[in-house]
Amino acid sequence: MKLLVAEDDVDLNGVMVRKLRAEGFEVDSSLDGGDALDRLLYADYDVAVLDIMMPVADGLEVVRRLRAKGKTTPVIFLTARDAVSDKVRGLDTGANDYVVKPFSFDELIARIRAVSRTAAGSASTRLQLADLTLDLAGHVVERAGSEIELTGKEYGLLEYLMLNQGRILDRDRIVRHVWGYDYEGSMTIVDVYMSYLRKKVDEDHDVKLIHTVRGIGYTLRETR
């Protein structure tokens, strides 16, 4: 799962990024609202965690402009404001949830998973295509009942494909989501890792799930 954390307190930002990465999330971070908005408009994130009081543009403005552009990325506001009126204002702006500082990281992680599942239209942590399953909570991948061992990047790549099964994803979009907004290497990294993933997911099965769309990118779908 790909997250954006936007928090102008450098120390808190660093702690959040470390803890969320330790939980298996892919995380980008911003220290101001302007950078956060640029990232959210350019890249695909599963959830954005935004402080409300930030320089350049506050969290409310970021969400207003994000929604005006038609982006539906789930947003959790993280703020010291705990009045009911503040919560209502935040949710009315277009946020999906609201966490008050100081907060428990366990609670934040639970809320991140909850808004992500809601956005995907499911209360389940299990994604499935044919006989391939991926458990978002446990990071367990199985095909035909047998567990598949994946590296962190392979898992992130497969998760992104499964969340977008049936859609054609170009290499640029995949790189931004799996390797991060700041990745500056070659786009061929996608082809390399897709080859690794195919060997683990498709090689021993008649029905292939990972498909190349010539000149564009990749898609995950069930076809013989």
Contact 74, 96 (CB under 8 A): yes
Q: How many angstroms separate the CA atoms of 159 and 14, rounded?
A: 25
Confidence (pTM): 0.64
**pLDDT over 70 (residue 128):** yes
Among 39, 88, 82, smallest CA distance to 60 is for: 88
Q: Is 132 helix (H, G, I), strand (E, B) or coil?
A: strand
**pLDDT over 50 (residue 123):** no
Q: How many angstroms separate the CA atoms of 156 and 178, rounded?
A: 6
In whole angstroms, how far apart are CA 163 and each of 129, 154, 208? 10, 14, 17
Domain boundaries, the chain: 2-119, 126-223
Q: How many angstroms separate the CA atoms of 151 and 158, rounded?
A: 11
**pLDDT per residue as tens digits for the range 80-118:** 766 666 667 777 788 888 888 888 888 888 889 888 877
| 8's tokens | 């102008």
| 183's tokens | 């990745």
Topology (CATH) of 126-223: Arc Repressor Mutant, subunit A (1.10.10)
**pLDDT per residue as tens digits for the range 150-199:** 998 999 899 889 888 888 999 988 988 788 767 888 999 999 999 999 99
**pLDDT over 50 (residue 138):** yes
Q: How many angstroms separate the CA atoms of 120 and 66, rounded?
A: 19
Among 56, 20, 26, smallest CA distance to 182 is for: 26
Q: Which stretches of the chain are assigned E, i.e. beta strand?
A: 2-6, 26-30, 47-51, 75-79, 97-100, 126-129, 132-135, 140-143, 146-148, 169-170, 208-213, 217-223
CATH architecture of 2-119: 3-Layer(aba) Sandwich (3.40)
